[in-house]
Structure 1
Amino acid sequence: MRHWGPRSLWVPLGVFMTIGFGLQLWGGPFQKRGRTFLLRPLSRFSMLQLRPSWTPLLGTAVESCLPRQRLVFLKTHKSGSSSVLNLLHRYGDRHRLRFALPVRYQFGYPRLFQASRVKGYRPQDRSTRPPFHILCHHMRFNLKEVLQVMPSDSFFFSIVRDPAALARSAFSYYKSTSSAFRKAPSLAAFLSNPRAFYRPGAKGDHYARNLLWFDFGLPFPPETKIKRENSHLPKDLNPLQRHVLPSGAGPGAKILDPSDIFQPVSTVADGHSQPASLTSFDVGSSSFIQWGLAWLDSIFDLVMVAEYFDESLVLLADALCWGLDDVVGFMHNAQAGGGQGLGAASNNTRTAEDQQLTARARAWNNLDWALYIHFNRSLWARIEQFGHRRLQRAVAELRARRAALAKHCLVGGEALDPKYITNHRLRPFQFGSTKVLGYVIQSGLSPQDQEECERLATPELQYKDLLDARQFPPPVPLPLKTTRLLSR
C-alpha cells in the first residue's frame, strides 16, 4: 500500500489511457467507398496465416487474425479471372458461404450491374434474410448497385492484365462476337488500322478497345465514348483526392502525378519502373484518367496483376487472412497455344514484329494501359511493404503445392485438349476460335481426394450451377395420390 498510494495510481492509469487512445486512433474511421469502416493494419504487420505444415518455412510467428469472408471480386475479361473465381468457389463452398449469383451466368453484361439481377435478392428482405458473402461473377461494375447487395465492409478486389496480352486473347475468343474483330482478317491487320474496323457502340465492340476500363464501369472521354450506359464519377474530384491512396501503397504514398501516365513502364520483365518507348501513346485528358484511377483506388482494396499472378495470390491471402492452401489452384479458361500472350515475354525474346504489335495494342487500348501501369505500380509498392524475401518464400511454397496437387490429381499433370475430357462436369465451355483447355482427374483416388481434385478442376459454369443447386434447391414435389386402376 505504501508503494501504491493515490498518487502512484495515476501512473498505471495514465499508461492504460494512452494505450486506449492509441487503439482508438488505430481503429478510427477511414473514409472509403463513401462510407465509414475500421482501418486495418498494414500487411507488413501481419504474417501470412498458413496451415501447420506450411508455417515453419515462412516462420512460426503467425499473428492471429480473422479470415475475411465478405468479398466483392470484379471478374474482368481475359485477365486470369476464371482462376480466381475457382478459388472463391472452392472457399465459399467449403465454408458454406452464400453467393450472390446471377440468374444465368452473368449479371446482364455488358449492361451495368443491377442488384435486381441477383437471384433471390429482395430489397425488402434485407433486414431479415442472411446477407450474401461473395459477389464474384461477370458484371460491369456499378458501385451503387453493388452496395445494395453486399455489406459495406466487404473486401473489394479485381485483376488486370497487360492490354497487349489481353488484346491477343480477346481477339481469338471474341472474334465471332465483336463486329470489329470479325471484320479484321488478323489481329495485326486490326491493330495496323483499327478505326477501319471499329465503330463505337457497334455490337460487341466493347471487347475491341479498353475492355478493362469498360469492365470497371468507368465513363469514357468523348473521343472514345461508347454509346452504352456509363457510370458517372463524382463531379468534384478534389475531396476524393484528399482521402485516396493508391491500392496498398501505404500512408506515405502520394497520388500519381498525371505526367506519370506519359512515361509507360516495362512492367513484365521485372516489375520495376523502366522507361519504354511508346511515342504513339495518346491518353487524351490525363486529368480525366487520374480522376478514374483515383476513384478506383477509393473502392478497391487490392488489384491483382495477371503477369504476377502468384505474387498477387500471396498478397491476397495475406490481405484476407487466408492460408496458402486457400488460394492454391489450377489455371482455368486457358486457350490452347495461347502461351502468355503479347506483352508477357521479355523484350529480349520478342521479334520486331511482336514489339510493334505490343506497342500498337497498348496505344489503341490507351485507357487500359494507363490503368495497368497504375495498378502494376501499386502492386509493387505493396510487395515492398510485404517484403521481397518473404514473398519469394511464399511464392515458392505456393508453386510447390500447386505442382504436387497437379501430379496427384491430374492425368498428365497439366491442362489437356478438351477432346480428352469426357466428363461433362469437367469439360470447359468452348467458345471462340481457340480451344479452351481443361482437366482430367486421375483414377484410383480416395473419395476425399477425388472430391477435392474435382473441385480444383471444375470450370466456372459448372461450379456456378453446383452452388446454385445448393443455395436454391428445387422444391420437393408433393407425393402423388395413388389411384386404383379399374379393370374392365
Structure 2
Amino acid sequence: MRWLGCYRLGLLWKALLVFLAIAFAGQLLGVIFSKSVPSERPHPMFSLPPAEAQGASLGSCRPHTHVMFLKTHKTASSTVLNMLYRFGDERGLRFALPLGYQFGYPLPFNAHRVKGYRGPHVVDFSIMGNHMRFNKPEVEKVMPPDTFYFSILRDPVALAESSYAYYKAVAPAFKRAKGLADFAADPWRHYDPRLRNNHYARNLLWFDFGLDHNANFSEALAQRGEAAVRRAFRLILLAEHFDQSMVLLRHALCWPLDAVVSFSLNAR
C-alpha cells in the first residue's frame, strides 16, 4: 500500500512538471510571436483623423496672415471674429485692437482709434476685426497693402427681427414702438435720423459698410453700393449659409481646416 501511494504521488509530480513545462513553453512562444508580429491598437469608432490631415495646407498656396474682417452687427460675426482671434493668438500675430469702444463706432473709422498706432504702416498689424463703421482709406493706413478684406451679410428680414430684439432698449425708434409689427407697419412714425443709436433701426448693414443708410432707395443706389462693396472686399460670407461660407473662407485664406471650426456665439 505504501508503495502504491508513493507511485501515485510520483505520477502526480510528473504530471505537474509536464503541465508547467507546457505552460512555460506557451508563454515563451507567445512572447516571441508578439515581438515578431507588431500589434495594432484598435481605433475608436469616432476617432478624428491625424492632426496633420486636419490642418494640411491647401495645395501650394500660402496662408494669409494679414486679414481685415468687417464685423457687422447681428450676423454671426462674433463667431467669425473668435476664429480670427484663435488663429492669430496661436501664431503670435499682432491684432489691431480698439483704443476705446469699438473703434469709435458709430463714427466712421479713424486710424488713430487703433491701440498702438503711430502712423501709416509704422507698426505691422496682422488682423483687424472689431466693430467699426467701415472707412477703407483709414483702414489702409493701419493694415498692410496685401491685406485680405472680407465681411458677412445676413438676410435683411432676419436681421431686422434680431436687431429689434437686441437694440430695443437703446434705439429710440424701437423704444417708441409697441412691438416689431408696430414698427414695421409705419417705421417713419417712430424713426428720427437725428437721434443717437437710431442707426440700428434703419439699413444697419448699409451703415456698417460706411454707406448712407438714410439715402432714398433706388435701384441705381443699390447698384452703386454693391459695386463699392465688391471693390473693397475679396469675399462676402452669408450668415444663412455659414458652413458653406467657412469652406469658401478656408480656401480663400489658405488656412488649415481646424482654423475655421467653431461654435456659435451670441446666438439667440
Moved over 6 A (4+): none
The residue number in structure 2 matching 1:184 is: 177
CA 1:188/1:293 → structure 2, altered by over 3 Å: closer, same or farther?
same
CA distance in 2, matches of 1:120, 1:176: 34
CA distance in 2, matches of 1:61, 1:204: 43
CA 1:179/1:221 → structure 2, altered by over 3 Å: closer, same or farther?
closer
Aligned to 1:296, the other structure's residue is in SS state: helix
Q: Deviations over 1:57-78 (max 9, x none)?
A: xxx9951221001000000000
1:69 aligns with 2:65: yes
1:152 aligns with 2:145: yes
Which amino acid in structure 2 is aligned with residue 96 of structure 1? G
1:114 aligns with 2:114: no
CA distance in 2, matches of 1:51, 1:113: 39
The residue number in structure 2 matching 1:329 is: 262
CA 1:179/1:105 → structure 2, altered by over 3 Å: closer, same or farther?
same
Match of residue 82, structure 2, among 73, 83, 86: 86
Shift of 1:133: 0.1
Q: Percent identity?
A: 51
1:218 aligns with 2:211: yes
Which one has a bigger Cα radius of gyration?
2
Which amino acid in structure 2 is aligned with residue 193 of structure 1? D
CA distance in 2, matches of 1:190, 1:153: 44
CA distance in 2, matches of 1:308, 1:73: 18
- More relative contact order, 1 or 2 (CA 8 Å, 6+ apart): 2
Where in structure 2 are the equivalents of 1:23-422 lying within 5 Å? Answer: 52-54=52-54, 63-123=59-119, 126-127=121-122, 129=123, 131-220=124-213, 222-223=215-216, 284-335=217-268
Shift of 1:141: 0.0
The residue number in structure 2 matching 1:389 is: none
CA 1:139/1:222 → structure 2, altered by over 3 Å: closer, same or farther?
closer
Aligned to 1:195, the other structure's residue is in SS state: helix
Shift of 1:178: 0.3
Aligned to 1:191, the other structure's residue is in SS state: helix
Aligned to 1:199, the other structure's residue is in SS state: coil
CA distance in 1, matches of 2:57, 2:261: 22
Aligned to 2:245, the other structure's residue is in SS state: helix
Which amino acid in structure 1 is aligned with residue 254 of structure 2? C
CA distance in 1, matches of 2:179, 2:156: 17
Shift of 1:54: 3.9
Q: Deviations over 1:351-371 (max 9, x none)?
A: xxxxxxxxxxxxxxxxxxxxx
CA distance in 1, matches of 2:228, 2:169: 33
Give the number of equivalent residue pairs. 219
CA distance in 1, matches of 2:229, 2:57: 34
Aligned residues of 1:141 and 1:215 also touching (Cα < 8 A): yes
TM-score scaled by length of structure 1? 0.43
Aligned residues of 2:202 and 2:213 also touching (Cα < 8 A): no
Aligned residues of 1:51 and 1:323 also touching (Cα < 8 A): no
Aligned to 1:219, the other structure's residue is in SS state: coil
CA 1:298/1:212 → structure 2, altered by over 3 Å: closer, same or farther?
same
CA distance in 2, matches of 1:303, 1:102: 23
Shift of 1:52: 3.3
Aligned to 1:293, the other structure's residue is in SS state: helix
CA 1:309/1:62 → structure 2, altered by over 3 Å: closer, same or farther?
closer
CA distance in 1, matches of 2:57, 2:63: 17
Shift of 1:80: 0.4
CA 1:61/1:322 → structure 2, altered by over 3 Å: closer, same or farther?
closer
CA distance in 1, matches of 2:214, 2:101: 30
Aligned to 1:72, the other structure's residue is in SS state: strand
Shift of 1:51: 5.2
Aligned to 1:107, the other structure's residue is in SS state: helix
Aligned to 1:319, the other structure's residue is in SS state: helix
Aligned to 1:53, the other structure's residue is in SS state: helix
CA distance in 2, matches of 1:109, 1:84: 19
